Amino acid sequence: MPGKAFAVVVVIITLATAYCVMAHVWWMPADISVHGPRIDHQIEETVLVAGLLFVAGQVVLAAFAFLYGGARDKPKQIPGGAKPLVIFAFAIVGTEILALSSIGSKAWGAVYFEAPDPSAMHIDVQAGQFAYYFRYAGPDGKFGALHPELINEGNQNFFGLDPDRDPDAKDDIITAELAIPVNKPVLLTLHSKDVGHSFDVRELRVQQDFVPGLNIPLHFTATQTGRFEIVCTQLCGLGHYNMKAYLSVLKAADFDEWLKRQAAMQ
């Protein structure tokens, strides 16, 4: 009786879980990046492979608990003993692993192993407890040097620029929102002002930690306009839950206008 109950409970849990995953009850938002489809494809493949193993494992467990609970015949071992199990593990699981790895490496490589487009728009991103600030190079196309000792948040000098003495810094545009033009490659350089943070945009299929002391490049191309959230996923202190900025993907003309407006507000 407990065996049958166990089997029923396990099957119900398995089916409920499988349903929630297949029906996308809680699921990823639509992808808006060039490399995203490869990642989504990889996730779908993994759902298939892992899902089959999950269902098979739980159902077989349930079946055996159901069938052999309270049985009183002489026990017998599965024909072949452990050999078929070991072979299955190496052969089937091993093959799946190799397949996932080799296809997956292309999805990963699309983000990290390819050099950014030489025409990519360069944007400097700083994460600090508990906000993101973004820097555009301005008309001169050059970023001014950063001087951490000059950071003065009360004066909104978040990056520690020295515009009076550094001509490159004079026209840098600092914003609290990341706007990018649609269908144009973008290259972000991520650096942290204080502790570890992360740059996570679900729709872009991009997640990259900020590491204090490092300048980390991250490039992508957004394929749809809209307003999306950049959230921090690396525990950074009390305000971690409220550390975010908006990503606006704009049509080219809208982006130019946005940048002009931001420049005027500096």
Partner 1 sequence: MRTGCKVAALASALLVFAIGLLYPGIGVNAASAGQITGTVKLDGVAPHMKGIDMSKDPYCAKATANAPAHSETVVVGPNGGLENVVLYISDGLSGSSLTQPATTVPVFDQKNCLYMPHVLALNVGQTFKVTTSDQTGHNVHPNPNPMTGNVPFNQSQPPGAAPFEKSWKAAEFIQVQCNIHPWMHAWFAVVKGPYATTDENGNYTINNLPPGSYTVTAWQETYGTQTQKVTVAAGKPGTADFTFKAK
Partner 2 sequence: MEKTFASARRAKTLFWGEIMAETSAHGAAHHAPPQGFISKYILSVDHKVIGIQYTILSLVAAFVGMALSWAMRIHLAWPDVHIPLLGMLAPNGAPGGQMTPEYYLSLMTMHGTIMAFFVLTAAPFAGFGNFMLPIQVGAADMAFPRLNRASFWVTFVGFLLACATFVIPDGPPLSGWTAYAPLSAVGAVAGPGQGWGQNLWGLSVAVFCIASLLGALNFIVTVLDLRTKGMKLSRLPLSTWGWFIDAWVSLLAFAVLLPTCLLLVLDRLGGTSFFIPGGLVFNDQLQPHSGGSPLLFQHLFWFFGHPEVYIIILPAFGIVSHILPTFIRKPLVGGWKVITFSEIGVGTLSFVVWGHHMFVSGMSPYMAMVFSVPTLFITIPSVIAVLVWVFSLYGSNIRFDTPMLFSLGFISLFISGGIGGFFLAQPSTDSYLHATTFVVGHFHFTMGLSAIFATFAGFYYWFSKMFGRMMNEKLGKWHFWLSFVGVYCVFMTMHLTGFAGAVRRYSAFVDDFMIPLIPANRFISVAALLLGATQFVFLYNAIWSFFKGPKAPDNPWGATTLEWDTTSPPPFDNFGGRQMIVHHGPMEYDGEASVMQTSAEASVAGT
Task: Report 166-225 residues binding partner 2 (CB under 8 A).
Answer: 193-196, 198, 200, 202, 205-214, 216
Q: Residue length, the chain?
A: 266
> Which residues have C-beta within 8 Å of that of residue 233, sequence separation ≥ 6?
198, 200, 207
Instruction: Report phi then psi at 124, rounded to 5.
Output: -95, 130
Per partner kind, with CB cut-offs from 5 to 8 A, the member of partner 1, partner 2, none near residue 132 is partner 1
* Per-residue binding letters, 60-99, with partner 2 (x by CB under 8 A): xx--xx--xxxxxxxxxxx--xx--xx-xxx--xx--x--
**Cα(18)–Cα(20) distance, integer angstroms:** 6
Distance between first and last Cα of the chain? 74
Per partner kind, with CB cut-offs from 5 to 8 A, the member of partner 2, partner 1, none near residue 176 is partner 1
**Cα(193)–Cα(212) distance, integer angstroms:** 7
Q: Contact with partner 2 (CB under 8 A): which of 32, 33, 107, 187?
A: 107
Which residues lie near partner 1 (CB under 8 A)?
128-132, 153-156, 158, 175-177, 237-239, 242-246, 265-266
CB of 9 to partner 2, least distance (A): 7
Measure the CA angle with vertex 169, ends 163 and 171; round to 5°: 100
Is 86 or 176 the residue whose CB approaches partner 2 more closely? 86
Is 152 or 266 the residue whose CB approaches partner 2 more closely? 152
- Based on the shown chain and the rule CB under 8 A, indicate whether residue 145 belongs to the binding site for partner 2: no
In the region spanning residues 10 to 49, those forming contacts with partner 2, defined by CB under 8 A, are 10, 13, 17, 20-21, 25-29, 38-39, 42-43, 46, 49
> Which residues have C-beta within 8 Å of that of residue 34, sequence separation ≥ 6?
110, 220, 221, 223
Per partner kind, with CB cut-offs from 5 to 8 A, the member of partner 1, partner 2, none near residue 85 is partner 2
Q: What residue ranges in 70-201 does DSSP mark as E strands?
A: 121-128, 131-136, 173-175, 178-181, 185-192, 197-201
CB of 237 to partner 1, least distance (A): 7
